[in-house]
Structure 1
Amino acid sequence: MTNGALTDEALLALPKAELHLHIEGTLEPELAFELAARNGIELPYASVDELAAQYDFDDLQSFLDLYYATMAVLRTRDDFAELTRRYLRRAHAQGVRHAELFFDPQAHTARGVAFNDVVDGIGDALDEAERELGMTGALILCFLRDQPVASAEEALTAGLARRDRIVAVGLDSAEVGYPPSLFEAVYARARASGLHAVAHAGEEGPPAYVYEALDLLGAERIDHGIRSIEDPELVARLAREGIPLTVCPLSNVRLQATPDLRDHPLLRLDDAGVRVTVNSDDPAYFGGYAGQNFAAVRDALGLTEDQARRFARTSIEASFASRERKDALLAEVEGWQP
């Protein structure tokens, strides 16, 4: 243990919600090979170890190239169920009690996978986790910002028919050069239909993208948002309006958004009154699930019991869970004994 602070066991046991998790980013090398064999797909790697060695990249684009290449093994409803099942079990072991999962339908339908097979497969695993683990969750349909807006409109149309599973829309993939403003009309339709709105902004993109996500997209949460620290007026606004940031420390380091975790703005944002949460993003690729991100923050920045408990409470309050579910989870946080 570092800093004489919280143990790994305590941080793993801390009840929490995960609000920034791409389900496709939980595809571990072992499962990729299992699904490739099941579906008769030949991966361009000779072994699990060779594929695992590829999970070493130095920027967002090199990560995305591998991310979309390995995604090819996901073909059926059962594939998405198994992917989600394995994530939920790992997450539960690290204290996650509610998970709102991003998924990228455009990346799947473009490969001939049926939209409902994606949604139903993930949903099957969520139902199983609720029965067996007491976890709850929902889906956030993410638009790929580097794809045509018309494609996002098609994805939204499909998503609106699945309000039984989908609670919000999001915006992800390569950020630079694709400002949130491109998707203003898509978001307006989603919000008018009753969906919540979140958006990736301020990871590689500038603080201006965070303003756009708030003002043009109506984002209720900002995913990443760490470059907000560069704009004191924006930081003050985030704190004043209570806008949560879903921060992913290990992801930020692996993608060089913050090359050294000791320089990460997480605690500075917290000190400024911004509501921050700790999440894993694409944990198969970035080396840690939710509890491990808490431990990494502890080791690099120091983490007090009060801070850890506050981040967990914020994750629950910032979720789209029912008030009853939030209250039950908040009670678990209060009962946490580090």
Structure 2
Amino acid sequence: MKTFIQALPKVELHLHIEGSLEPELMFELAERNHISIPYPSADAVREAYQFHNLQSFLDIYYQGANVLITERDFYDLTWAYLLRCQQDNVIHSELFFDPQTHTERGIGFDTVVNGIYSALNDGQEKLGISSRLILCFLRHLDEASAFATLEQALPHKDKIIAVGLDSSELGHPPEKFQRVFDRALAEGFLSVAHAGEEGPASNIRDALTLLKVSRIDHGVRCTEDEALVEQLIKNRTPLTVCPLSNTRLKVFDSMAQHNIVELLRQGLCVTINSDDPAYFGGYMNDNFIAVANAHSVTQNELAQFTFNAIDASFVSPQEKDRLRQITQSFLDNLPV
């Protein structure tokens, strides 16, 4: 099954680019920018990646982002991720970035988005990996900060396809950002939101009704509400699930307890993603392999995760057809 997974074309819809900052690159950028970090080595950084909940992860995540200063830094960060996509046969990626993480410490919005977008363009041209970029508001900050960030994004509509909502879910429900999302939708952005990871199933409902999101990031706690599950199936609302992240952050005690395969078999449009792979121990192949090792899944079920992600992606119908053809061609040419 591992060989099949490695060759299977994949589409990633839930990836925080700051969360792909590997310790080695963190040290390289710290040295380049003359920034002190509180770890003596890359190994020491990895040893610190023992999280007991979302907040314990976020504390070190924001600390690591401090080494990102220049447009070149954001380019290098994104390019390193794209090389991992190439290695894992990811043919399309829709990635998040957190501008407030950087603008709050004096880094220009343009610096962030231009560095990332330049690498994404090169990824298309040099690696054949298509992509879309999603701006996420930090939900632990206030509405005014989100509105200010949206204003900064308006000159970059050609680069940003959607807005999202991430960071601490507990204590920061979707309704806190309803007005910001209304404005973003009026400006032509699509919308997504993290919901139903640490927070309750009601956050999923509220993200759908108040923020009018096209898909739910995580959403694994939907099973607390049977009517919600039926609604998600009926509307084919995508859930961008992150298996290794969920187990590392103790949303599930083990991969065997994870509900992603159960959700798939119920008919939900669930997808596999890596979230913050540098921190959670795995990129796309690692997540697929972890699910396959813990659950008795078939090749067709694993391929369905890719087809679901294609359906849920923010690309044109023609581009979806192209991605489906790539995936179907792979399946059709498997040895009997």
Given the two structures, how large is their TM-score scaled by the length of structure 1? Answer: 0.97
Match of 2:31 in 1: 37
Report the secondary structure of 1:311's partner residue.
Answer: helix
Q: Which residue identity lines up with residue 162 of structure 2 in the other structure?
A: A
Identify which of 295, 304, 312 aligns with 2:298.
304
Identify which of 264, 267, 289 aligns with 1:270.
264
Q: Which residue identity lines up with residue 55 of structure 1 in the other structure?
A: Y
Match of 2:251 in 1: 257
Q: CA deviation at 1:325?
A: 1.6
Pairwise mapping of residues 195-206 of structure 1 onto structure 2 (< 5 A)? 195-206=189-200
Match of 2:166 in 1: 172
Match of 1:3 in 2: none
Q: CA deviation at 1:312?
A: 0.3
Pairwise mapping of residues 188-337 of structure 1 onto structure 2 (< 5 A)? 188-337=182-331
Alpha carbons 1:129, 1:136 under 8 Å: kept: yes
Q: CA deviation at 1:216?
A: 0.3
Q: Which residue identity lines up with residue 38 of structure 2 in the other structure?
A: P
Whole-angstrom distance in 2 between the partners of 1:26 and 1:330 = 27
Report the secondary structure of 1:99's partner residue.
Answer: strand
1:187 aligns with 2:178: no
Q: Which residue identity lines up with residue 148 of structure 2 in the other structure?
A: E
Whole-angstrom distance in 1 between the partners of 2:329 and 2:224 = 36
Q: Which residue identity lines up with residue 235 of structure 1 in the other structure?
A: V
Whole-angstrom distance in 2 between the partners of 1:62 and 1:212 = 26
1:28 aligns with 2:22: yes
Report the secondary structure of 1:142's partner residue.
Answer: strand
1:128 aligns with 2:125: no
Match of 1:56 in 2: 50
1:109 aligns with 2:103: yes
Alpha carbons 2:4, 2:299 under 8 Å: kept: no
Q: CA deviation at 1:124?
A: 1.1
Whole-angstrom distance in 2 between the partners of 1:232 and 1:267 = 17
CA-to-partner distance for each residue in 1:41-85, whole Å, 9 max, x for gaps?
011111111112111211111100000001100001000000000
Whole-angstrom distance in 2 between the partners of 1:37 and 1:309 = 42
Identify which of 18, 25, 40 aligns with 2:12.
18
Alpha carbons 1:236, 1:272 under 8 Å: kept: no
Given the two structures, how large is their TM-score scaled by the length of structure 2? Answer: 0.97
Q: CA deviation at 1:15?
A: 1.1
Match of 2:139 in 1: 145
* Identity rate, percent: 50
Whole-angstrom distance in 2 between the partners of 1:73 and 1:287 = 21
Matched length: 332
Gaps of at least 5 residues in structure 2 are none
Whole-angstrom distance in 2 between the partners of 1:12 and 1:181 = 40
Q: Which residue identity lines up with residue 85 of structure 1 in the other structure?
A: W
Q: CA deviation at 1:176?
A: 0.5
Match of 2:3 in 1: 9
Whole-angstrom distance in 1 between the partners of 2:291 and 2:314 = 25
Q: Which residue identity lines up with residue 271 of structure 1 in the other structure?
A: R
Match of 1:47 in 2: 41
Q: CA deviation at 1:302?
A: 2.1
Query: Which of structure 1's runs of 4+ aligned residues deviate more than 6 A?
Result: none
Q: Which residue identity lines up with residue 109 of structure 2 in the other structure?
A: F
Alpha carbons 2:14, 2:95 under 8 Å: kept: yes
Whole-angstrom distance in 1 between the partners of 2:150 and 2:23 = 31
CA RMSD of superposed structures (Å): 0.9
Q: Which residue identity lines up with residue 138 of structure 1 in the other structure?
A: R
Alpha carbons 2:162, 2:192 under 8 Å: kept: yes
Whole-angstrom distance in 1 between the partners of 2:267 and 2:42 = 44
